[in-house]
Amino acid sequence: MNYSAIEERIGVTFREKVHLLTALTHRSYLNEHREATQEHNERYEFLGDAVLELIVTDYLFREYPKKPEGELTAIRSALVNTVSLAGAATELGLGEYLLMSKGEAKDTGRARQYLLADVFEAVAGAIFLDQGYDAARDYIARSLFGKTKEIVEKELWKDAKSRFQERAQDKVSITPTYETLRQTGPDHARQFVIGAFLGKELIAEGEGFSKQEAEQVAAERALTKQGW
């Protein structure tokens, strides 16, 4: 593995390279490569999730001293959700270095986003283990803090369905509705496709592993399509 290329991208030179290797190793890779000696990244992801929450909470608490805790919680959720973390991992190119099985490598859409979000957290955990809180904070700050202003100004901390309903009622005096258009996959991995409607007009579709998730995706796409 070309450690120097990855380290340059994330802005950290690891003292113990095994931390970085572990953070980039998906469980499925070890199933196909019995000769590998490193662990998979799930423990690092667990640690990184906690580190991420503390660092982002500390930042928001200081940055917005007059905002109530409920609003800060919602802003934090918008900043560290799967889409946001997957976007940050993509910008860093972490997906190019993630070690995983051939099957996992073929994943697209939401499944791919989950993989990328997980590896972003795992790298945060690895940095914390290798160099401590300040280095982990710098990594997270470079990747996420710049997104905060847009989230606050555009109220992206509100869930997509709430924002779509507010905009729709304000602009066209219609309350959106949602309908299940399709269901695919086995019972244990059911995927739903939901349509967001204004009256009888289908504005956008969204997919997800639950109806609630698919509705949120549909609402987000509807906001984009309507330019709201």
- Residue list, annotated binding site: 45, 118, 121
Contact 23, 44 (CB under 8 A): yes
> Counting runs of H as helices and runs of E as strands, what totals does the chain give?
12, 3
Helix (H, G, I), strand (E, B) or coil at 221: helix
Distance in angstroms (rounded) separating the CA atoms of residues 81 and 78: 5
Distance in angstroms (rounded) separating the CA atoms of residues 119 and 114: 9
* CA geometry: angle 217, 81, 159, nearest 5 deg: 50
How far is CA 98 from each of CA 76, 93, 110, rounded to the nearest angstrom?
26, 9, 17
Q: What burial class does residue 159 get, using C-beta atoms within 10 Å of its C-beta: 0-12 exposed, 13-18 middle, 19+ buried?
A: middle
Cβ count near 213 (within 10 Å) = 17
Annotated binding site for Mg(2+): 45, 118, 121
Residue from 121, 130, 215, 220 carrying the catalytic annotation: 121
Query: Is residue 69 flagged as an active site residue?
Result: no
Q: Which residues contact 219 (CB under 8 A, 6 or more apart)?
A: 159, 160, 161, 163, 164, 176, 196, 204, 206
Query: Is residue 138 flagged as an active site residue?
Result: no
Contact 110, 209 (CB under 8 A): yes
Catalytic residues: 49, 121
